[in-house]
Amino acid sequence: MGLFTRDTQAIFWNNNRSAIQRMLDYDYIIKREKPSVAAIVAPTSSNKFDKFFFGTDEVMIPIYRSTEEAAAAHPNADVLLNFASFRTAYDVTMDALRFPQFKTIMITAEGIPERLARIMNKTAKDKGVLIIGPATVGAITPGAFKVANIGGTIENIVKSKLHRPGSCGLVTRSGGLFNELSNIIALNADGIADGVAIGGDRFVGSVFIDHLLRMEKDPNVKYMLLLGEVGGREEYKVIEAVKSGKITKPVIGWCIGTIAQHFSSGVQFGHAGASANADEETAVAKNKAMKEAGIHVPDSFNDLPHVIKGVYEELRGEGVIKDIEEPEVPPIPEDFAKALKAGKVRRPKHFVCTISDDRGEEATYAGYPISSVATPDTGKTIGDVVSLLWFKKVYPRWAVDFIETVIKTVADHGPAVSGAHNAKVTARAGKSVVESLVTGLLTIGPRFGGAIDGAAKYFKYAYDNNMSPKEFVNYMKKQGIPIPGIGHRIKSVRNPDKRVEGLKKFAKEHFPSTPLLEYALEVEKLTTSKKDNLILNVDGTIGILMVDMWRALGYSEEEIDEFIESGTLNSFFILGRTIGFIGHILDEKRLGMPMYRHPFDDILYDVQKAEEIK
């Protein structure tokens, strides 16, 4: 019997998607009926399952929060693939050992504390559970079941004939060289029947001899290959077994690390388990002892292929090994992502983004890494970020400063305005910040905050159509619309709005030119001559100066019209006022005011009995 059969199913501890996908790809090419992964254990996952490809189809593999649940739901899964980190791998194994259904536990973590590793290994041994690892890529029974990543890519697996049983039993310490050896055996013989990488740590749960004795009894294994390493005495157990006749099948052996004989000390060649504490633990001594025991040992690693070929051909000549009829391998559909990268497929995109990109090393705002605009030493401010993300341009300083001036100017206008009031009432109803905020924001429109858009639109229209201020005032009167951006509740010519004064002053000093503002001021002269408080208000000033700003920045009239139509101007108000709304909401949270109920005496009740319509 090989280590695994075509019915073997595993529970995979940790949702290592790429390793699980490789197992399912393997299942597909060897035409397994059931997937080799029955379930996944992921203690922090909130998902109930994950999807994986099976050929061109997808299958769902259930996810459980604990090994206990997974084991109970999948009593036939007798392998646990423990992909926990070195910090938790011990606990995961000890936990799994409580459930007698697990016959094999494979542990991938490298560097589990030695004492814990030994206790884990011994507990398993006492219970008759086979441990593979720690610090391993696992094991494979070709044509039946493969652990996680062993064998590498699916292309390599087919090339190395790991998709169908051959006749060699392979045992190595190193996982990287396991792949290499599989390849060598495929090139020089007929592939492997069963293979294990026992792991590189000092204390591993099963050693060479455990697997070689098992392979001795496995009728599919006709000869064995052992790749050892400098350090430790495990190879001597194999030598003893060969000498005593417990192993009768031909064995090919080699220990890597013969280089160490040339150096007195200080250079660590290979794994943690690989340092010779005595002469007999050196690779040279072990190779010599193996050769003396009748194991086939090459003169150097470079000659290993010839020895393999020799043993294989001899067994074939004797009729022990029969020729294999190569099975047909269904092609594995290429992953979309991979094919795309290779330029082999294409697909129309469903979304387009032209402002930011999070695919590289660092996310960018219109091509500028976030770190290049974020901290004060970059000299960049929130106005720069707005110009990058809203307009995909790097605006000059005066324009950036203007944008910030606008945002600061509109940030708040006290609790009584309708938007702030709504936000406060909502917050007092116990709603969250985001719910209260959107309630406030939803109030913004033609009557609240909308004058910015309107002012820009109408003043620009008048100016573009060469209307004189007088013609414009008359035009608006005919339309029956109060001029947006004109008029204030309290402020007047004699009591000017300081915010407006500030914006005008900034524009005069820093804008290259302000034609629309000058036009608007002419209009203001007319309106204020009729009534003292019909001044150009803050909304109007902002809307008009935005148009002046874009003109000075070189935008075409069509582009500016588009900004106005798409609500860009309003966006400045939304952005700025969000600061104020959040302030009011946090204020409510802080104050802990109760639910608001409007007083009866502030409502005019005028309710008539409904008329019945017959």
Partner 1 sequence: MAQRAIREYDGKKLFAQNWDKYFKGLNYPFESVLVTSGEELLKKAEEPGYEWLKKKPLVVKPDMLFGKRGKNNLVLFKVNKPGDVTLEDAAKWIDEKRNQETTLLSGQKGVLTHFIVEPFTPHSEDEEYYIAATTLDEENDVLYMSAHGGMEVEENWDKVTEVKIPIDATDEEIEKLIKENIPADIPADKKDVYAQFAVDFYKFFRDLNFAYLEINPVVIVGNNVYLLDLVARLDDTAGFMMKDVWGDIEFPTPFGMPEKSPEEEAIAEADAKSGASLKLTVLNPEGRIWTLVAGGGASVVYADTIADLAGGVAELANYGEYSGGPTTDETRFYTETVLDLMTRQKDPQGRDKILIIGGAIANFTDVAKTFTGIIQAFEKYADKMKDVGVRIYVRRGGPNYEKGLKDIKEAADRLGLPIKVFGPETHITDIVRMALEDDKAKA
Task: By CB under 8 A, name the binding residues for partner 1.
Answer: 18, 86-87, 111-116, 118-119, 121-123, 137, 149, 152-153, 156, 159-160, 173-177, 179-180, 183-184, 187, 200-203, 229-230, 256-259, 262-263, 266-272, 274, 283, 299-302, 304-305
CB of 399 to partner 1, least distance (A): 38
Q: In b/e form, how buried is each residue of 447-472, taking b as 16+ CB within 10 angstroms?
A: ebbbbbbbbbbbbbebbeeebebeeb
Catalytic residue among 74, 163, 211, 271: 271
Residue 519: strand, helix, or coil = helix
In the complex with partner 1, which residue's Cβ is closer, 203 or 573? 203
Q: How far is the CB of 98 from partner 1 (least distance, A)?
A: 16
What secondary structure does DSSP assign to 581-593, as a single string?
HHHHHHHHHHHTP
Q: Which ranges of 189-264 does DSSP label H, i.e. alpha helix?
A: 208-217, 234-243
Instruction: Give the H/E segment covering residue 54.
Output: strand 49-54
Residue number, 270 or 580, with CB nearest to partner 1: 270
Retrieve residue 283's tokens: 């690779």
Q: How far is the CB of 92 from partner 1 (least distance, A)?
A: 15
Q: Judge residue 123's burial from the number of C-beta atoms within 10 Å of its C-beta, 0-12 exposed, 13-18 middle, 19 or more buried.
A: middle
The smaller minimum CB distance to partner 1, of residues 174 and 528, is found at 174
Choose between 83 and 395: whose C-beta lies nearer to partner 1.
Answer: 83
Q: Rounded to whole angstroms, how far apart are CA atoms 152 and 148?
A: 9
CB of 152 to partner 1, least distance (A): 5
Cβ proximity to partner 1: between 187 and 575 the closer is: 187
User: In the complex, what is the shortest distance from the CB of residue 96 to partner 1, in angstroms, rounded to a whole number?
Assistant: 18
Interatomic CA distance for residues 412 and 583, integer angstroms? 9
Q: Which is nearer to partner 1, 248 or 300 (CB)?
A: 300
Nearest approach, Cβ of 151 to partner 1 (angstroms)? 8
Length of the chain: 614
Phi then psi for 356, rounded to 5 degrees?
-150, 165
CA angle, 306 as apex, 304 and 309 as ends, to 5°?
110
CB of 160 to partner 1, least distance (A): 8
User: Residue 139 to residues 176, 214, 256, 374, 514: CA-CA distances in angstroms?
Assistant: 12, 14, 20, 50, 77
The whole-angstrom separation of Cα 92 and Cα 548 is 68
Task: Please confirm, yes or no, whether 510 is among the known catalytic residues.
Answer: no
- The whole-angstrom separation of Cα 517 and Cα 540 is 9
Nearer to partner 1, 175 or 449 (CB): 175
Specify whether the CB–CB gap between 218 and 245 falls below 8 A: no
Q: Closest approach of Cβ 347 to partner 1, in Å?
A: 22
Q: Kindly give, in sequence order, each residue whose CB lies less than 8 Å from that of residue 505, ignoring residues fewer than 6 positions away.
A: none
Cα separation, 30 vs 245, in Å, equals 36
Q: Cβ closer to partner 1: 176 or 446?
A: 176
- Is the Cβ–Cβ distance between 195 and 140 less than 8 Å? yes
For partner 1, the closer of residues 157 and 456 by Cβ is: 157
When computed from its CA atoms, the radius of gyration of the chain, rounded to whole angstroms, is 39
Cα–Cα dist 52/334, whole Å = 14
Tell me the closest approach of the beta carbon of residue 159 to partner 1, in angstroms.
7
CA separation for the pair 121, 126 (Å, rounded)? 9
CA 530 to chain centre: 65
Specify the residue, 72 or 267, whose C-beta has the smaller distance to partner 1: 267
Q: Tell me, what amino acid is at 205?
A: G
For residue 30, give the nearest of 152, 157, 138 by alpha carbon. Answer: 157
Tell me the two tokens of residue 489.
């509740």
Alpha-carbon span 157 to 482, nearest angstrom: 79
Q: Residue 259 or residue 593: which is nearer to partner 1 going by CB? A: 259
CB count in 10 Å sphere of residue 125: 14
**Strand order through the sheet with 168-172:** 145-146, 138-141, 192-197, 168-172, 223-229, 251-256
Distance in Å, CB of 180 to partner 1, minimum: 4
In 3-state terms, the chain is what percent helix, strand and coil (to 5)?
45, 10, 45
CA distance 58 to 460: 58
In angstroms, what is the minimal distance from the CB of 244 to partner 1? 20
Angstrom distance (rounded) from CA 413 to CA 407: 12
Chain-centroid distance of CA 345 in Å reads 23
Rounded to a whole number of angstroms, the minimum distance from the CB of residue 6 to partner 1 is: 24
Contact between 427 and 589 under an 8 Å Cβ cutoff? The reply is yes
What tokens appear for 529 in the block? 């001559």
Active site residues: 271
